[in-house]
């Protein structure tokens, strides 16, 4: 089973890499140089490589953003490539060993410490207030990209954990939406009820997926209990028994209520939600635009609902950077790379292109480029509605957190396929955790 998944991932990796390289290449032309961050000096044209994770919907948005960038900086050619999230980081790991990282990268918070500590990211301090305009960014936002007192990344946007629901699919099934909150047991029963209703009508539609396959759902349970995934000292805030208990919670869903694991494998890299197979999905609130793009014109509306509650009154949710932008330490054009980063973070044109696809913009000037209506307004309203549940964000993830998160996902997939028990999965996870923490 692992072999089949690796082969499929490799094939997807190659296909998407080719697609990204061919479809998304920024134009270049004669004009003022971007040297010094202001396009002055008449320097020679330069070429930058920019990489991001996402789908065709996000790719089209970046295409629009890079076109706007080239209107202002025609002497900076931007070669763009994209992959799915797991494949993106597989490729970055390979490039990190050879010194071949892209000049500018869309970056995930979970990898910040790992790449910064290994000297792979450019220190942005010399460019702050110069090529990178910091006035539209709050101190809290600027602090997100700081590791060991040095700025290595700039957050583009923020997001929060939510539950998306598909009203049209619920109408098709003849089921009511989940009201939000409630207990995890309430949600499990709800998922099973929607699935049963659809089955009785001869439809392959499910109320949701097994939520225990996502480490974020485990995290908000731990936070509600006063614990955390990892402490400030980088130690795990849970033991093997607690993890086994969490994965055992999902057995009711895996035994018939949720979208089957084998079906999830078949539709990959899409999820059950954006394949119109599930009516709900627990994830980050900036995923909505991508979901609508994948669902197609038939679906025009989604709703956002707060996740189930573990302990009433707990500050279990938090706002985090949905992504950051960083520059490789090996870039040959740091000023031009900083100019591109600044544009992607602060430009109103980029805000207009993306809406809330990357989350609510962290920059005031970029936010000005967005007309918050439809889904964008829903996301803003959702984050305001959960203010009572918002606590402090966790510390910058430990080195290796990306690998830990991926291992959690893989074991969740294996649980869904029925090839491992919760006890064995928890034991295997801690074996992997011990190895990563010992490095």
Q: What is the pLDDT of residue 43?
A: 64
How many whole angstroms from its chain centre is CA 65?
A: 19
In words, the CATH class of domain 161-317+400-438 is alpha beta
Q: Are 214 and 407 in contact (CB under 8 A)?
A: no
Question: What whole-number distance in Å separates Cα of residue 107 and Cα of residue 321?
Answer: 10
Q: Are 4 and 85 in contact (CB under 8 A)?
A: no
**Cβ contacts of 406 within 8 Å, gap of 6 or more:** 86, 89
pTM of the predicted structure, to 2 decimals: 0.75
Q: Give span(s): CATH 3.40.190.10, the chain.
A: 2-159+322-384, 161-317+400-438
The owner of tokens 């923490």 is 437
420 Rama sector, left if φ>0, alpha if ψ -120 to 50, beta otherwise: beta
Rounded to 10 degrees, the C-alpha dihedral 102/131/334/105 comes to -10
Strand partners, 360: 158
3-state secondary structure of 359: coil
pLDDT tens for the chain, 439 residues long, are: 323 333 333 333 333 333 333 333 333 322 223 333 444 335 689 999 999 999 999 999 999 999 999 999 999 999 999 999 999 999 999 999 998 999 999 999 989 999 999 999 999 999 999 999 999 998 878 988 999 899 999 999 989 999 999 999 999 999 999 999 999 999 999 999 999 999 999 999 999 999 999 999 999 999 999 999 999 888 999 999 999 999 999 999 999 899 999 999 999 989 999 999 999 999 999 899 899 999 999 999 999 999 999 999 999 999 888 899 999 999 999 999 999 999 999 999 999 999 888 888 999 999 999 888 899 899 999 999 999 999 988 888 888 898 999 999 999 999 999 999 999 999 999 999 999 998 7
Query: Structurally, what CATH architecture does the domain formed by 2-159+322-384 represent?
Result: 3-Layer(aba) Sandwich (3.40)
Q: What is the pLDDT of residue 155?
A: 94
């Amino acid at each position: 089973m692992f072999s089949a998944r690796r082969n499929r991932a490799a094939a997807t990796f190659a296909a998407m890499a080719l697609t990204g390289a061919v479809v998304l290449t920024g134009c270049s032309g004669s004009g003022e140089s971007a040297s010094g961050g202001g396009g002055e000096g008449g320097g020679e044209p330069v070429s930058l490589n920019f990489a991001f994770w996402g789908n065709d919907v996000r790719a089209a948005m970046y295409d629009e953003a890079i076109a706007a960038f080239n209107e202002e900086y025609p002497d900076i050619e931007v070669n763009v490539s994209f992959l799915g999230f797991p494949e993106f980081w597989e490729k970055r790991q390979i490039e990190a060993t050879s010194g071949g990282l892209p000049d500018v990268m869309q970056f995930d918070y979970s990898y910040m410490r790992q790449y910064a500590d290994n000297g792979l990211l450019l220190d942005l301090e010399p460019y702050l207030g110069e090529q990178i305009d910091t006035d539209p960014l709050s101190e809290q936002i600027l602090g997100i990209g700081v590791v060991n007192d040095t700025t290595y990344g700039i957050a583009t946007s923020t997001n929060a954990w939510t539950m998306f629901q598909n009203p049209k699919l619920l109408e098709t099934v003849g089921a009511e939406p989940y009201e939000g909150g409630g207990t995890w047991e309430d949600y499990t029963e709800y998922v099973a009820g929607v699935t049963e209703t659809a089955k009785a009508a001869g439809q392959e539609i499910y109320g949701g997926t097994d939520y225990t396959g996502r480490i974020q759902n485990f995290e908000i349970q731990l936070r509600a209990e006063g614990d955390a995934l990892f402490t400030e000292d980088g130690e795990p805030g849970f033991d093997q028994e607690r993890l086994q208990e969490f994965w055992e919670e999902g057995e009711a869903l895996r035994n018939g209520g949720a979208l089957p694991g084998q079906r999830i494998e078949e539709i990959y890299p899409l999820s059950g939600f954006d394949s119109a197979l599930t009516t709900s999905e627990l994830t980050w609130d900036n995923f909505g635009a991508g979901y609508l793009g994948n669902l197609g014109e038939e679906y025009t509306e989604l709703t956002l609902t707060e996740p189930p509650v573990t302990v009433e009154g707990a500050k279990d949710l938090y706002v985090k950077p949905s992504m950051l932008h960083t520059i490789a330490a090996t870039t040959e054009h740091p000023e031009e790379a900083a100019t591109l980063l600044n544009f992607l973070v602060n430009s109103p044109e980029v805000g207009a292109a993306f809406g809330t696809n990357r989350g609510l913009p962290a920059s005031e000037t970029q936010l000005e480029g967005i007309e918050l209506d439809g889904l964008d307004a829903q996301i803003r309203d959702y984050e305001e509605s959960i203010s009572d549940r918002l606590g402090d964000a966790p510390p910058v993830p430990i080195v290796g957190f990306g690998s830990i998160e991926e291992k959690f996902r893989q074991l969740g997939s294996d649980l869904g396929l029925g090839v491992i028990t919760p006890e064995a999965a928890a034991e295997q996870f801690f074996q992997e955790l011990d190895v990563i923490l010992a490095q």
